[in-house]
Amino acid sequence: MADRPGSDIEHIAKLRLIRSENVGPVSYRHLTARYGSASAALDALPELARRGGGRAFRIADIGAVHREIEATEAAGARFVFLGDSNYPARLAETEDAPPVLAIRGDIALAHRRTVGIVGARNASAAAIRFARGLASDLAAANIVVVSGLARGIDAAAHSGAITGGTIGVIAGGIDNIYPPENAELYAALYERGLVVAEQPIGTEPQARHFPRRNRLISGLSAGIVVVEAAPRSGSLITARFAGEQGREVMAVPGFPLDPRAQGCNQLIRDGATLVQSAADIAETITPFGGVRLGAGGSRFTAPPPTDADDNARSAVTALLSLTPVAIDELVRLSGEPPAVVQTVLLELELAGRLVRHAGGRASLA
């Protein structure tokens, strides 16, 4: 079975690859494209990390992977892998789609028309009421609501959409209920919705996990609706991810003197679609709605395998700094072919010397 890695040697290798040191979603994609399988990629990791200037490379222990599989199944969850037919097709279209997701609930919801609703945790009573009604109307229109199972707007959106199916994306492991007061909401989604986690089971949510969670909310959705958001809030991060992923960005206007409305009003000034009803949302996402974008594949493909020599490594590394730079710019300035630049970046990342950023950018660690 595709969603039970214990029954498939290659699925075990895929889980072991993504759990190995310094392997992220982008490097995972390059590794599997270059070597043809996760099993072959695992064998190549130590040498690639050595070329990037790293010391002894730690591959995920196979025993730990088997324990993760057993714990995930014991929690009532299962895995879906990038490339499998049941992997959410819209999410697979994003550049840094997670190689593996732990899910609990009905994965079919992720293949329907989906809209993300996000907003302030300390939302006003009026905004909570509006978000709940908006989600209910979307569910009645056969549109699945995606959100982050947080306090405030997220919880209101899930509650309003529960009768029609809703998807909760969480920052911790699939067994982690956060915040604790949403335990009943989690239980409702297990039964009538879907809960999705990228982090391994047992992971407590940390601040660095929430932006990663936010990119999944937008990646699973045809568009994002923001209902109350202060400047520099997590909801605006989700909206930025949505724009980078080619999703529709929508916002509910608010009273100008309320700080919680400033983020939404600014989004509208910057070109986001103003939303007053579910009909506005349905009209906005119509070009994307209902279209299955693939069967778990991706339009992002790694360049053909090309080794890099010492001169190329020096040229690319010299252009990197602590400030993120577009990979296309590295190609232009270094004069090296894109495949060679990607090989150098892969080696540096595996060595722990490179950090990848949203929008196809990279910096030194």
Average pLDDT estimate for 208-224: 95
Dump pLDDT digits (tens) for 231-243: 889 999 999 999 9
Whether residue 39 has pLDDT greater than 60: yes
Could you give phi then psi for residue 123, rounded to 5 degrees? -65, 155
Whether residue 292 has pLDDT greater than 50: no
Give me the sheet containing 325-326, strands edge to edge: 325-326, 361-364, 354-357
Residue 281: predicted pLDDT: 96
Q: Is 318 exposed, middle or buried (0-12, 13-18, 19+ CB in 10 A)?
A: exposed
Whether residue 223 has pLDDT greater than 70: yes
Q: Domain-by-domain residue ranges, the chain?
A: 105-285, 310-360
Residue 358: predicted pLDDT: 81
Residue 5: predicted pLDDT: 58
Strands, E assignment, the chain: 78-81, 100-105, 114-119, 144-147, 166-170, 194-197, 223-227, 248-252, 273-274, 325-326, 354-357, 361-364
Model-level pTM greater than 0.85? yes
Dump pLDDT digits (tens) for 61-96: 999 999 999 999 999 999 999 999 999 999 999 989
Do the beta carbons of residue 120 and residue 152 sit within 8 Å?
yes
Average pLDDT estimate for 116-126: 95
Residue 288: predicted pLDDT: 47
Whether residue 296 has pLDDT greater than 90: no
Which has more confidence, 364 or 287? 364
Whether residue 7 has pLDDT greater than 70: no
The CATH-assigned architecture of domain 310-360 is: Orthogonal Bundle (1.10)
Topology agreement, domain 105-285 and domain 310-360 = no
Residue 56: predicted pLDDT: 80
Q: H helices within 19-86, ranges in order?
A: 25-35, 38-51, 62-74
Residue 297: predicted pLDDT: 45
Tell me the pLDDT band of 257, cut-offs 50, 70 and 90. confident
Whether residue 222 has pLDDT greater than 80: yes
Amino acid in the structure at residue 177 = I
Average pLDDT estimate for 111-118: 96
Average pLDDT estimate for 206-224: 95
φ/ψ bin of 76: left (φ > 0), alpha (ψ from -120 to 50), beta (otherwise): left
Residue 57: predicted pLDDT: 86
| Nearby residues of 136 by Cβ (< 8 Å), 6 or more positions away | 160, 161, 163
Dump pLDDT digits (tens) for 126-181: 999 999 999 999 999 999 999 999 999 999 999 999 999 999 999 999 999 999 99
What is the share, in percent, of the chain residues with pLDDT greater than 90?
82
Q: What is the DSSP letter of 273?
A: E
Do the beta carbons of residue 49 and residue 57 sit within 8 Å?
yes
* Strands 114-119 vs 223-227: parallel, antiparallel or unpaired: parallel
Identify which of 23, 203, 170, 200 has the alpha carbon closest to the alpha carbon of residue 96. Answer: 23
The CATH-assigned architecture of domain 105-285 is: 3-Layer(aba) Sandwich (3.40)
Dump pLDDT digits (tens) for 302-320: 556 678 888 989 999 999 9
Helix %, strand %, coil % of the chain (to 5): 45, 15, 40
CA pair distance 23, 31, nearest whole angstrom = 9
Could you give phi then psi for residue 41, rounded to 5 degrees? -65, -40
